[in-house]
Every structure is written in structure tokens, then in C-alpha cells.
Amino acid sequence: MRAAAPPVEGLLETSLYAADLRRTAAFYRERFGFKTLVDSPRLVAFEVAAKPVLLVFPRGATEDDVVDARGTIPGHDGVGRLHLALSIAAADLEAWRARLFERGVPVAGEHHWPRGGTSRYFRDPDGALVELATPGLRW
């Protein structure tokens, strides 16, 4: 029997992709008052309240609106090299390395952040980039 997975402490981040980064960043900044953590040509990162949920939908299956007696959920979808990050304890980083290796999941990369955190990256079956991040990641 295989050992249980080391704990995941939470969903750390998820990514959106904008055709016009400045316009979309201004939308989130102005409408929600999110604090800007990073503002660069490559990305704008915002601090958001800590109540994350990871939703996984079949690609192309949610493009139409869902309308029922309770209301309307507008259609949505995502394509490309999507990304999400899961927070883990620093003490569990090696256990995760072993678990990924044991299950044949190749590590796509690793990054050591200036504040002491480490990110380990791998891809899900659809090519989305999954990040396991220890404390000290933030800029």
C-alpha cells in the first residue's frame, strides 16, 4: 500500500490571462481594491482574501451559460499553459519530491525565492503547470 500524500496547506494562487495586462490589472485593482504585490510587464500579482477553491472543468464543456430556476452562471473556459500553486510546509518538500518521483511525475523546474521559499513545478495531464510552494515565496 502506498503512503498517504504529504499535506497540502492550501491553494496558494491561481492565474488569469489577459489580452491587455494593464487594462485587466486596473479592473481588479480599481473594482476590488486589491493590494498590488508585483507590477511588471510579465505579470501583475494581487493580494486577495484567503478563501480559495480549485475548480476543474472539462475543457470546452462550460462555454455555454447555465440557466435554471436559481439563476444564471455565465459560460467560461480556459486554454493554454494554465497555472496554479499549492502551499506546502517546507518540511514536506522532500516528501513531495519522493511522491512525484514514485508516481512517475517529472519535475519541470524548481526555484529558490529571495525570501527563503522554494517552488517545485510539474505539469498535470492537460499541461497545466502545478506549483508546490513552501513559505517564503512571496515577493
pLDDT in tens, 58-100: 888 889 999 999 999 899 888 888 998 999 999 999 999 999 9
Q: Residue 16: how many CA atoms within 13 Å on its side-chain side? A: 12
Q: 119, 73 in Cβ contact below 8 A?
A: no
Tell me the pairing of strands 118-123 and 83-87.
Answer: unpaired
Percent of the chain with pLDDT over 90: 49
pLDDT at 15: 84
DSSP the chain: -PPPPPP--EEEEE----SSHHHHHHHHHHHH-PEEEEE-SS-EEEE--S--------TTTT-S-EEETTEEE------SS-EEEEE--GGGHHHHHHHHHHTT----EEEE-TTS-EEEEEE-TTS-EEEEE-TT---
pLDDT at 108: 96
What distance in Å separates the CA atoms of residue 109 and residue 4, rounded to the nearest whole number?
Answer: 24
Cα dihedral: 20, 21, 27, 30 (round 10): -140
Domains of the chain: 10-133 (3.10.180.10)
